[in-house]
């Protein structure tokens, strides 16, 4: 294509972009692709997961501002653009029975109205490809599920001049993918590689939980080679200091083992308006040559 390729990654919270598809985005930025992260919420209700920062009263009182600063640092590391959709984090309800979601939160918004916010951004940025979450949200966080809903609705509506006429001139993205980086084949391969080298694996409990809950495997259609950008991914993730413990399990698999054993990030092609042959190694397969 003579025009610059554009990729939009739709995520629920600040830090999701750095844990799901971050190396892919950094790779495409290095290739000259224009990449925009659309962040649905401010992550205001996210717990402080880094034990080194727990109990910090400034962070607790200013979590919204802190998470915005973390997002800006991660954005710069990845080299992407970023936009906030402006919705309020729903939190992750816990307990039995589950408590009701907070009034006014993202997950309780009208899907058609919230999709209109994303349609406006799509029409402004004009992405050829969008990435988002599957119908289970990747995991069943209410904001992740809502992100899926508005992403799919916006993908269908953005090119239709009769829908959301106030949101700008129509633009039809050509492909939409689900992030599937946390998949069983990858996890099993890395787990075994660590054991074979006499290294303790952080994935044993994950695999046992998957057996317990009989997790259904998603189809993996697209494997993007991006091992050269795993270090960039990790640096961006660490920038979300309130959410990530730099000494935690995320970083216990040496990068050289990851690059050798599983050098890709994986996606599930949800819908394509161009012809493509599966499996793919490029989110823009079928677009670059048309």
Residues 96 and 55 in one domain: yes
Confidence of residue 152 (pLDDT cuts 50, 70, 90): very high
User: With 70 as the cut, is the pLDDT of residue 128 above it?
Assistant: yes
282 is in an annotated binding site: no
213 pLDDT more than 90:
no
- Tell me, yes or no, if the pTM score tops 0.75: yes
Query: What is the rounded CA–CA span in Å between residue 110 and residue 27?
Result: 35
Same domain (yes/no): 88, 166: yes
Long-range contacts of residues 212-215, Cβ cutoff 8 Å, at least 24 apart: 215/184
Q: Is residue 283 part of a domain?
A: no
Number of domains in the chain: 2
81 and 205 fall within a common domain: no
pLDDT grade for 1, boundaries at 50, 70 and 90 = very low
**Do residue 100 and residue 195 come from a single domain?**
no
Q: How far apart are CA 216 and CA 138, in angstroms?
A: 12
Locus of tokens 């994303």: 118
Mean pLDDT of 144-160: 98
The reply to whether 278 falls in a domain is: no
Within this chain, do residues 78 and 55 fall inside the same structural domain, yes or no? Answer: yes
pLDDT at 219: 95
Low-confidence winner among 115-119, 147-151, 253-257, 286-290 (lowest mean pLDDT): 286-290
Residue span of the structural domain in which 250 resides: 6-182+219-272
- pLDDT of 259 > 50? The answer is yes
Any known ligand binding at 144? yes
Measured on CA atoms in the order 287, 288, 289, 290, is the torsion positive or negative? positive
**Model confidence over 163-203: pLDDT tens digits?**
999 999 999 999 999 999 999 999 999 999 999 999 999 99
281 occurs within a structural domain: no
Q: Is 13 annotated as a binding residue?
A: yes
Look at residue 84 in the predicted model and tell me its pLDDT. Answer: 98
**What is the structure's pLDDT at 217?**
85
118/208 same-domain check: no
240, 195: one domain? no
Residue 133 pLDDT greater than 50, yes or no = yes
Q: Based on the fold, state whether residues 89 and 140 are members of the same structural domain.
A: yes
């Amino acid at each position: 294509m003579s025009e610059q390729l554009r990729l939009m990654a739709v995520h629920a919270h600040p830090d999701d972009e750095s844990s799901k598809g971050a190396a892919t985005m950094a790779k495409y930025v290095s290739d000259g692709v224009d990449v925009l992260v659309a962040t649905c919420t401010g992550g205001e209700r996210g717990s402080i997961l880094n034990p080194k920062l727990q109990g910090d009263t400034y962070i607790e009182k200013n979590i919204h501002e802190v998470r915005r600063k973390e997002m800006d640092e991660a954005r710069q590391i990845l080299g992407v653009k970023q936009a906030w959709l402006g919705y309020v984090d729903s939190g992750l309800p816990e307990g039995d029975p589950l408590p009701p979601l907070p009034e006014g939160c993202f997950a309780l918004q009208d899907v058609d109205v919230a999709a209109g916010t994303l349609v406006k951004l799509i029409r402004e940025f004009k992405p050829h490809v969008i990435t988002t979450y599957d119908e289970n949200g990747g995991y069943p966080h209410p904001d992740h599920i809502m992100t899926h809903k508005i992403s799919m609705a916006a993908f269908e509506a953005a090119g239709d001049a009769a829908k959301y006429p106030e949101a700008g001139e129509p633009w039809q993205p050509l492909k939409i993918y689900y992030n599937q980086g946390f998949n069983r084949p990858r996890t099993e391969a890395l787990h075994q590689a660590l054991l074979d080298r006499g290294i303790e694996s952080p994935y044993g409990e994950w695999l046992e939980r998957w057996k317990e809950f009989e997790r259904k495997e998603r189809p993996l259609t697209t494997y993007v080679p991006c091992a050269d950008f795993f270090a960039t991914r990790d640096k961006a993730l660490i920038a979300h200091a309130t959410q990530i413990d730099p000494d935690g399990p995320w970083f216990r698999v040496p990068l050289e083992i990851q690059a050798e054993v599983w050098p890709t990030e994986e996606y599930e092609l949800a819908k394509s308006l161009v012809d493509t042959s599966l499996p793919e190694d490029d989110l823009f397969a079928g677009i670059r040559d048309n």
